[in-house]
């Protein structure tokens, strides 16, 4: 058989294969689409059903009609009661304040550390990563007992001072934020050419404070926001450390206390905190929007 | 007048010697290129001038000031990086004006200077763009403008064109040279691209394994290489194994045929050497108008391969047979009337005696075993 004949035969076989595989692919497509939809629906129900159940339960709190004096069900009474409770607002404000201070302290510690490790001592990165992972290894209850033991007697008897426990709470939360904040910041640093940016700024006369504040920080905005958001979410919902250090002042212990005394309000508060979380995520997406695509890779265009 | 001076500069990274015994005097407004392969120490030397690395030994002076241990932000040295290193959070204008802002110059002055530099780099209407909105070539021009904004005493460029495509690279290197001449700024340019170095530089420093191999003008470096390394690294080079017949009169045997070098060399009759010959110095008789002189070397060869490289046609020819044979590249300018011989046909190559550079194992030439390189080419 000549080479030309062999080629033509090969082409015919290829065409036949293509022709056979095309309808097969078409046949498979509806099945795979249905499978994808099924997975999506299962996933959606998995997340949505508990939320809906909580919401439905929170509406079961009866409300008395001021005119007819009849009990109205379903109602938003649980939400009204929650918003009318000063303890709700004070616990939320306390936790937000602690959260924001935690974020600030954590950033001041983590950003220069992660930056310096990447720039000057990259060989120390595994050690720093290990240290930042410690909160995953040490249970919060051990951490808080350790803190109380050290800071309840001389020379650092902070638990006996007016704001000592609040300071200790921030300190404990800063430690808890390490794994999230370090990873977020380190990933942000990995996305930019830290060394060249630093050296470019240095060659133009900039000192370290200006480099960190004007060059590194702005380019880490999205990463910092992710770390900050995760930290805030942890602080808002944390229970163990907060209870042992400052009692029911923070939002987590308040929510727990509410669950022990009331029926429908805890469900309402859970949904409100969920809403706050979603609002925070929306804010994160909004603030981080301008930074997308700005971190360049040399020669990418 | 010497403006940039490096005296016996050495840099060690642990047990590794990155740069050693580096001496250089650059005049005001001079364009000096560091040329060499990866890992030869050229970027380390540049980084020492910029202040990003501190020399292990030696001294660096800029305009008479000893800057050896001075921090980089105090040196007033402009640097352009291979990766552009533009600040992604700042606009083009903010990037260019950054150094002036650091120097607390008035807002009006910064605006005027940024405008001037945007005109200089031919991007007058791109001031409010972000770096990611520009092409690679435009970004590198902005990086150049940013480095020039502070009116640096020395401009350092670290392989600034490596990340760009070929056409933009050529256009931008003309632009860099033009701007450098216009401003008269002392410039050090690091590259591994010999064409870039040859075109841009007033002087080239060829480096290998942390040492200077040769310093000279592009003409000197290309035509009169002092070492085997320079000869082989700059331009295309035939390194052809040969045997000495009479060293004093420059007589050699190449593929069993007699040739002559213009200069005498050291060695005994029968010693193995390598003859370095540029492809463009060799002519192929019969396919182009003969320019051969009666005193030129004439060697019989066989055509083995013909390659079209655009403007140039490269012939690979074999001289001699068996152990004594050698393969040689011969370049000819392409033209439609060229009578291209077929592979396997006999041919005669000619080259002038002064085009032969004889490299031997025992000539004291450092950095390359010329004979081994020649044998490897076979």
Which residue ranges make up each domain of chain A? 3-58, 84-300
Check residue B375 and give its pLDDT. 47
Q: In 10 A of CB B253, how many CB atoms?
A: 16
3-state secondary structure of B116: helix
**pLDDT at residue A64, as a whole number:** 77
CA distance to partner chain A, nearest, from residue B9 (Å):
21
Query: According to the model, what pLDDT value does residue B291 have?
Result: 65
Closest-CA distance, B76 to chain A, in angstroms, reads: 7
- Residue B98 distance to chain A (closest CA, Å): 7
Among partner residues A205, A291, A294, which is closest to B103 by beta-carbon distance?
A: A205
Q: What is the DSSP letter of B355?
A: G
Contact B337/A at CB under 8 A: no
Q: What φ, ψ does residue A15 adopt, rounded to 5°? A: -60, -40
On chain A, the residues whose CB falls within 8 A of the CB of B150 are: 204-205
Q: What pLDDT tens digit does each residue of chain A (301 aa) get?
A: 333 433 443 443 344 444 445 555 555 566 678 889 999 999 999 989 999 999 999 898 877 777 777 777 788 888 888 888 899 899 989 998 999 999 999 999 999 999 999 998 999 999 999 999 999 898 999 999 999 999 988 888 888 887 888 999 999 999 999 999 999 999 999 988 899 999 999 999 999 999 999 999 899 888 888 898 889 888 988 999 999 998 888 988 988 888 888 888 889 988 888 888 778 777 766 776 655 444 443 333 3
Q: Strand, helix or coil at A168?
A: helix
- pLDDT score, position A299: 35
Which residues, in sequence order, are CB contacts of A77 under 8 Å at separation 6+?
A61, A62, A63, A264
Geometric angle at alpha carbon B139, from B137 and B145, rounded to 5°: 105
Which DSSP category does B122 fall into?
A: T
Q: Compare all CA atoms of chain B with the CA of A291 and give the residue at the minimum distance.
A: B89
Q: Who among B72, B89, B103 is closest to A203 (CB)?
A: B72
Rounded to an integer, what distance in angstroms lies between the CA atom of residue B113 and that of residue A201?
Answer: 18
CB atoms within 10 A of CB A281: 12
CB < 8 Å to B149, chain A = 204
For chain A, the C-alpha Rg in angstroms (whole number) is 28
Residues 6+ apart with CB under 8 A from B264: B247, B248, B249, B250
Cα separation, B202 vs A50, whole angstroms: 76
Q: Within 13 A of A21's CA, how many CA atoms are on the CB side?
A: 6
Three-class DSSP labels, B269-333: CCCEEEEEECHHHCEEECCECCCCCCCCEEEEEEEEEEEECCCEEEEEEEECCHHHCEEEEEEEE
A143 vs A151: CA distance, rounded Å: 12
CATH topology of domain A84-300: MetI-like fold (1.10.3720)
What's the gap in Å between the CA of B371 and the closest CA on chain A?
40
In the prediction, which pLDDT does B162 show? 87
Local structure of residue A290 (DSSP, 8 states): G
- Which of A220, A294, A298 to mutate against chain B (most B CBs within 10 Å)? A298
Q: What are phi and psi of B190, to 5 degrees?
A: -100, 130
**Are B132 and A205 inside 8 Å of each other by CB?**
no
Chain position carrying tokens 């009331």 = A262
Q: Which residues of B touch A221 (CB under 8 A)?
A: 89
Residue B255: the pLDDT is 83
B 111-150: CB under 8 A from A: 130-132, 134-136, 139, 143, 146-147, 149-150
**B197: closest CA of chain A, how far (Å):** 21
Report the chain B residue with the minimal C-alpha distance to residue A196.
B85
Scanning the structure block, which residue is given the tokens 């108008």?
Answer: B289
Check CB contact under 8 Å for B164 and A299. Answer: yes
Residues contacting residue B256 through CB under 8 Å, at least 6 positions apart: B320, B321, B324
User: For residues A214-233, b (16+ Cβ closer than 10 Å) or e, as one string?
Assistant: bbbeebbbbbbbbbbbbbbb
Of A196, A218, A301, the CB nearest to B89: A218
What residues contact B15, with CB distance under 8 A and at least 6 apart? none
pLDDT tens-digit profile, chain B (378 residues): 789 999 999 999 999 999 999 999 999 999 999 999 999 999 999 999 999 999 999 999 999 999 999 999 999 999 999 999 999 999 999 999 999 999 999 999 999 999 999 999 999 999 999 999 999 999 999 999 999 999 999 999 999 998 888 888 888 888 899 889 988 999 999 999 999 999 999 999 999 999 999 999 999 998 888 887 888 888 888 888 888 999 889 999 988 889 999 888 888 898 888 888 888 888 888 776 666 677 889 999 999 999 888 888 888 999 877 777 788 888 888 887 777 888 888 889 999 998 888 876 544 333 334 445 444 443
Rg over alpha carbons for chain B, rounded to the nearest Å, is 25
Q: Are β-strands B238-246 and B251-254 bridged in parallel, bridged antiparallel, or unpaired?
A: antiparallel
The C-alpha atoms of residue A5 and residue B193 are separated, in whole angstroms, by 50
- Backbone angles phi and psi of B8, in degrees to 5: 45, 45
The minimum CA-CA distance between A291 and chain B, rounded to whole Å, is 8
Cβ atoms within 10 Å of B215's Cβ, excluding its own: 17
Q: Would you give the DSSP letter of residue B28?
A: T
Q: Chain A interface residues facing chain B, Cβ-Cβ under 8 Å? A: 192-193, 196-197, 199-207, 210, 215, 218-219, 221, 291, 293-296, 298-301
Size of the A and B interface in Cβ pairs below 8 Å: 95
- B130 CB neighbours in chain A (<8 A) are 294
**What backbone phi and psi angles, to 5 degrees, belong to A49?**
-60, -50
List the single best residue of A204, A217, A223, A300 to mutate versus B (max B Cβ within 10 A): A204
CA gap B196, A264 in Å, rounded: 77
Distance between B93 CA and the closest CA of chain A, angstroms: 15
Residues of A in contact with B163 (CB under 8 A): 298-299
The pLDDT score that the predictor gives to residue A279 is: 83
CB B150 to CB A196 under 8 A? no
Whether the CA torsion B79, B80, B83, B89 is positive or negative: it is positive
B145 to chain A: nearest residue by CA? A204
Q: How far apart, in whole angstroms, are the C-alpha atoms of residue B214 and residue B229? A: 9
Distances (CA, A) of B86 to A1, B330, B354: 64, 45, 50
For the CA atoms of A86, A89, A93, A94, what is the dihedral angle to 10 degrees? 50
CA distance A198 to chain B (A): 9
pLDDT value of position A277: 72
Contact: B78, A203; criterion CB under 8 Å: yes
Q: Are B135 and B169 in contact (CB under 8 A)?
A: no
Nearest CA in chain A to B78: A203
Q: Is B82 on the interface with A (CB under 8 A)?
A: yes
Dihedral angle over CA of A51, A53, A59, A61, nearest 10 = -120
Give the chain B residue nearest A297 (alpha carbons).
B83
For CA atoms A29, A30, A34, A37, give the dihedral sign: positive
Smallest CA–CA distance, residue B97 to chain A, in Å, is 10
């Amino acid at each position: 058989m000549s080479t030309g004949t062999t080629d033509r035969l090969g082409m015919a076989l290829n065409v036949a294969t293509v022709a056979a595989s095309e309808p097969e692919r078409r046949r498979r497509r509806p099945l795979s689409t249905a499978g994808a939809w099924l997975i999506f629906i299962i996933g959606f129900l998995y997340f949505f059903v508990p939320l809906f159940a909580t919401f439905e339960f929170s509406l079961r709190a009866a409300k008395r009609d001021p005119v007819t004096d009849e009990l109205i069900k379903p109602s938003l009474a649980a939400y009204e009661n929650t918003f009318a409770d000063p303890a709700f607002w004070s616990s939320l404000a306390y936790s937000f304040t602690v959260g924001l201070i935690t974020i600030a302290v954590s950033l001041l510690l983590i950003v220069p550390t992660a930056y310096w490790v990447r720039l000057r001592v990259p060989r120390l990165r595994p050690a720093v990563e290990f240290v930042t992972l410690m909160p995953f290894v040490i249970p919060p209850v051990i951490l808080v007992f350790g803190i109380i033991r050290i800071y309840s007697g001389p020379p650092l008897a902070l638990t006996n001072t007016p704001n000592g426990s609040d300071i200790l709470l921030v300190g404990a939360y800063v430690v808890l934020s390490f794994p999230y904040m370090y990873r977020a910041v380190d990933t942000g640093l990995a996305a930019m050419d830290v060394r060249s940016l630093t050296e470019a700024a240095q060659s133009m006369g900039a000192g370290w404070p200006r480099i960190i504040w004007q060059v590194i920080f702005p380019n880490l905005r999205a990463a910092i926001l992710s770390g900050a958001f995760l930290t805030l979410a942890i602080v808002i919902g944390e229970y163990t450390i907060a209870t042992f250090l400052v009692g029911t002042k923070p939002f987590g212990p308040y929510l727990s206390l509410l669950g022990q005394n009331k029926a429908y309000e805890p469900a309402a508060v859970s949904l409100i905190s969920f809403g706050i979380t979603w609002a925070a995520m929306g804010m994160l997406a909004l603030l981080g929007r301008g930074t997308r695509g700005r971190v360049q890779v040399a020669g990418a265009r | 007048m010497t403006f940039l001076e490096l005296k016996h500069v050495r840099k060690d990274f642990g047990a590794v010697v990155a740069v050693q015994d580096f001496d250089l005097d650059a005049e005001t407004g001079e364009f000096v290129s560091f040329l060499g392969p990866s890992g030869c120490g050229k970027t380390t030397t540049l980084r020492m001038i910029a202040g990003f690395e501190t020399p292990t030994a030696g001294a660096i002076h800029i305009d008479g000031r000893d800057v050896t241990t001075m921090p980089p932000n105090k040196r007033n040295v402009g640097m352009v990086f291979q990766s552009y290193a533009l600040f992604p959070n700042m606009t083009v204008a903010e990037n260019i004006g950054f150094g002036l802002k650091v120097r607390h110059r008035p807002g009006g002055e910064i605006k005027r200077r940024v405008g001037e530099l945007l005109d200089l780099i031919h991007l007058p209407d791109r001031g409010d763009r972000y770096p990611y909105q520009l092409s690679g070539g435009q970004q590198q021009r902005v990086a150049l403008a940013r480095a020039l904004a502070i009116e640096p005493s020395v401009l350092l460029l670290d392989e600034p064109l490596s990340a760009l495509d070929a056409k933009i690279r050529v256009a931008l290197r003309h632009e860099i040279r033009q701007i450098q001449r216009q401003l008269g700024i002392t410039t050090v340019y690091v590259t591994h691209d010999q064409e870039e170095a040859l075109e841009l530089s007033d002087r080239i420093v060829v480096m290998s394994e942390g040492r200077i191999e040769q310093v000279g003008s592009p003409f000197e470096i290309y035509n009169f290489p002092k070492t085997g390394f320079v000869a082989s690294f700059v331009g295309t080079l035939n390194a052809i194994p040969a045997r000495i017949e009479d060293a004093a009169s420059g007589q050699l045997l190449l593929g069993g045929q007699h040739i002559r070098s213009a200069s005498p060399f050291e060695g005994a009759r029968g010693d193995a050497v390598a003859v370095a010959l540029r492809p463009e110095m060799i002519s192929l008789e019969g396919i182009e108008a003969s320019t051969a002189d009666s005193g030129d070397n004439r060697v019989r060869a066989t055509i083995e391969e013909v390659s079209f490289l655009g403007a140039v046609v490269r012939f690979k020819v074999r001289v001699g047979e068996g152990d004594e044979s050698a393969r040689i590249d011969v370049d000819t300018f392409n033209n439609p009337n060229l009578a291209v011989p077929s592979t396997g046909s006999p041919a005669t190559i000619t080259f002038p005696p002064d085009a032969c550079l004889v490299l031997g194992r025992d000539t004291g030439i450092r950095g390359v075993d010329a004979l081994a390189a020649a044998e490897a080419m076979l």
